[in-house]
């Protein structure tokens, strides 16, 4: 009788792969001496039950992955170059703050301003405004991904991303984690973070489209406010809606992954899978070995109390 499988995910890091389980995570990196070095960590301890509820767990998972992913990336940068200097907690916090600020500026503020400059009104035509705003976000995201895909270091990162997906596919299909078995599987996975981000953009279009109407319904005097007063209310609300949007997107992603036999959910997954043709590349056997090492270590680590 095979042991019960656990839910695993992960991400590519510099010259390696991070694999995350329900409670723990491991990072495997091949250093300049060609040896695979490991890092282990705890995802969470005694998480409150409310954090596991649908539509809440998605945002909690996003925050956890942001923290773990950043720590793993910084550690991999250190180990892949044999740097002795360790990253301090303050540097980690600054990196996270900068990352969040960059997301707000380039994927919330910039599209919002550009949509107004083009000539669309959020007050008069909220659905059309947010459709254009969302398309600009997606265009910026796709342009960024496509541009960096030509960089040599990013290409290697995308190969490790492919190795991560292949290893997870192999595990989920109940096959032995060997290089030969893992290489049989595709680099695309419906539960990928790339697909999640694309879903976030689409869901945000729908949520933001009804936001002005909800504000007007709960605060009738809103219509009498001046232009800047309205923006001072609507724009911060967009940021406050991000946890809800992340929660909805996460639930759609999970259902789509579980229902790949359903035509509707295959259609929902299709754009994200096509985008992964850029963000994942076929890995070498050496890169697959790193992904297997990370996944095997995680599976053993999760068994320990």
Query: What tens digit of pLDDT does each residue of 11-22 get?
Result: 999 999 999 999
What 3-state class would DSSP assign to 29? Answer: strand
- Return the percent helix, strand and coil in the chain, to nearest 5: 65, 10, 25
Query: What tens digit of pLDDT does each residue of 148-198 get?
Result: 999 999 999 999 999 999 999 999 999 999 999 999 999 999 999 899 999
Left, alpha or beta for 8 (phi > 0: left; psi -120 to 50: alpha)? beta
Query: What tens digit of pLDDT does each residue of 179-193 get?
Result: 999 999 999 999 998
Distance CA 33, CA 164 (A): 22
- Reported in sequence order, the residue ranges of the chain that DSSP labels E, i.e. its strands, are 9-13, 16-20, 24-30, 36-42
In degrees and rounded to multiples of 5, residue 39 shows phi and psi of -135, 140
Distance CA 36, CA 209 (A): 49
User: Is pLDDT at 1 greater than 50 in this prediction?
Assistant: no
């Amino acid at each position: 009788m095979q042991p019960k499988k656990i839910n695993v995910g992960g991400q590519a890091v510099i010259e390696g792969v991070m694999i995350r389980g329900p409670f723990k995570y491991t990072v495997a990196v091949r250093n300049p001496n060609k040896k695979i070095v490991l890092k282990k960590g705890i995802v969470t301890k005694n998480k409150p039950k409310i954090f596991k509820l649908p539509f809440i767990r998605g945002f909690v998972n996003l925050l956890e992955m942001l923290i773990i992913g950043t720590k793993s990336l910084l550690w991999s940068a250190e180990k892949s170059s044999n740097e002795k200097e360790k990253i301090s907690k303050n540097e980690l916090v600054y990196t996270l703050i900068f990352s969040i600020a960059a997301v707000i500026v380039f994927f919330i503020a910039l599209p919002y301003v550009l949509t107004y400059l083009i000539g669309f009104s959020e007050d008069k035509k909220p659905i059309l405004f947010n459709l254009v705003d969302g398309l600009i976000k997606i265009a910026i995201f796709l342009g960024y991904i496509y541009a960096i895909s030509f960089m040599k270091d990013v290409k290697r990162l995308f190969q490790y991303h492919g190795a991560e997906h292949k290893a997870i596919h192999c595990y989920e299909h109940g096959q032995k984690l060997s290089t030969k078995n893992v290489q049989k599987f595709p680099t695309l996975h419906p539960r990928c973070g790339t697909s999640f981000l694309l879903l976030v953009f689409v869901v945000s279009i729908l949520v933001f489209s009804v936001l002005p109407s909800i504000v007007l319904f709960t605060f009738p005097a809103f219509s009498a406010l001046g232009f800047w007063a309205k923006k001072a209310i609507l724009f911060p609300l967009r940021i406050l809606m991000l946890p809800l949007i992340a929660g909805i997107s996460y639930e759609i992603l999970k259902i789509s992954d579980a229902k790949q036999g359903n035509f509707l959910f295959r259609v929902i997954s299709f754009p994200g899978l096509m985008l992964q043709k850029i963000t994942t590349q076929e890995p070498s056997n050496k890169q697959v070995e790193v992904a297997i090492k990370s996944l095997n270590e995680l599976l053993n680590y999760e068994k320990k109390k």
